[in-house]
Amino acid sequence: MSDTSQTTLLSIVVPAYNEQDCLAKLHQEICRVLDPHGMSWEMLIVDDGSTDDTARVIETLVETDLRVEGIHLARNFGHQAALLAGLAEARGQAVVTIDADLEQPPASILEMLALWKQGYQIVHGVRRDHPELSFFKRKTSRWFYRVFSFLTRIPIEPGMLDFRLFDRTAVDAILSLQEADFFLRGIAAWVGFKQAKLPYQAGLRSAGQTKYSTRAMIAFAMRGITSFSTFPLRLATYLGLMMTLLSTGYGIYVTIRHFFWERPQPGYASTILLISFLMGVQFLLTGVLGEYVGRIHVEVKHRPRYIVARKVSPTPDCRRTATSKKTCPRS
């Protein structure tokens, strides 16, 4: 890679929420992987409203390495918004998104760059689960991607998280999208371009705790599906048609039973059961409809998807002359 390393600017976008114990380790590992190849790169760390010492750690990294820049959001806008904020600030010809916890190996960035130089504009990292990953998390993740792909017709394999490389053309196309419900995993597959998949062996979180609770994962899954598929709404039509046919058939059955049976049964239990079932279906479909109405409500307000409170970066003059680690005043 030495032939183009001096002219290639690689941007590495790292969303961080309460990752004070992981960022320095991630930066050290990225330096270890990339510096021997002499390439030009920058690391954009997006502080997504952290409540620990993440902001202080970012400032320390900026002071010691000119290639690091901190972007502090005004509050916790969410993982996807933090990724978008990083993409918007990235200046590289190639942009890699990676989590701060080191579950995604920085060494795979070199393989992504090799595929990029072969002409691929988006390279998806596909996780091979760590043997110690919990059975529940492994299975629910696979179920979500299979359901998502079936409902949306957008091919996303289990394990295609937010570790991927984008060409500048793909980044510009993604940034042109104005939807409020930003779901990068779906968008990355939806935008097209020439895409490749790169399997990698996932590691364990280097420090701290995962920020995705079961409740957060369910909300994330709902947001992703409703952002790319109207099938749940279409399901209401299918269920309505099925209920109409069943009700018609049951009505014919009751009529025949009334006129041809000597002692027809009252049918109280079956009536209550049918009413309860239909009410449950109605409430379910009302909830689905509410999800989409809520999405419309968010979209029409045209609020920004995130707000940047401040940026911490080297001064422009220092950044232009920087080729390696050194101390520089912050802007």
Query: pLDDT for 2-33, tens place per residue?
Result: 444 445 589 999 998 888 888 888 998 889 88
- Alpha-carbon distance of 169 to 311, in angstroms, equals 25
**Contact indicator for 13, 90 with CB cutoff of 8 Å:** yes
Model confidence pLDDT, tens digit, residues 166-203: 999 999 998 888 877 777 877 888 888 888 888 888 77
Q: What is the pLDDT of residues 53-112, one digit of tens each?
A: 888 989 889 888 888 899 999 888 888 888 888 999 888 889 999 988 888 888 889 989
Q: Which helix (H) or strand (E) holds 245?
A: helix 231-260
As assigned by CATH, the class of the 9-228+304-321 domain is: alpha beta
pLDDT band at residue 162 using 50, 70 and 90 as cut-offs = confident
- Residue 126, classed as helix, strand or coil, is strand
Residue 4, pLDDT score: 41
What number of H helices and E strands is found in the chain?
11, 8
Contact status, residue 50 vs residue 26, Cβ threshold 8 Å: no
The pLDDT value given to residue 212:
56
Tell me what pLDDT residue 321 has. 39
Q: How far is residue 39's CA from residue 21's CA, in Å, rounded to a whole number? A: 27
Lowest mean pLDDT among 130-134, 231-235, 306-310: 130-134
Helix, strand, coil abundance in the chain, percent, nearest 5 = 50, 15, 35
CB 31 within 8 A of CB 271: no
Residue 152 has what pLDDT?
A: 63
Q: Average per-residue pLDDT in the chain?
A: 75
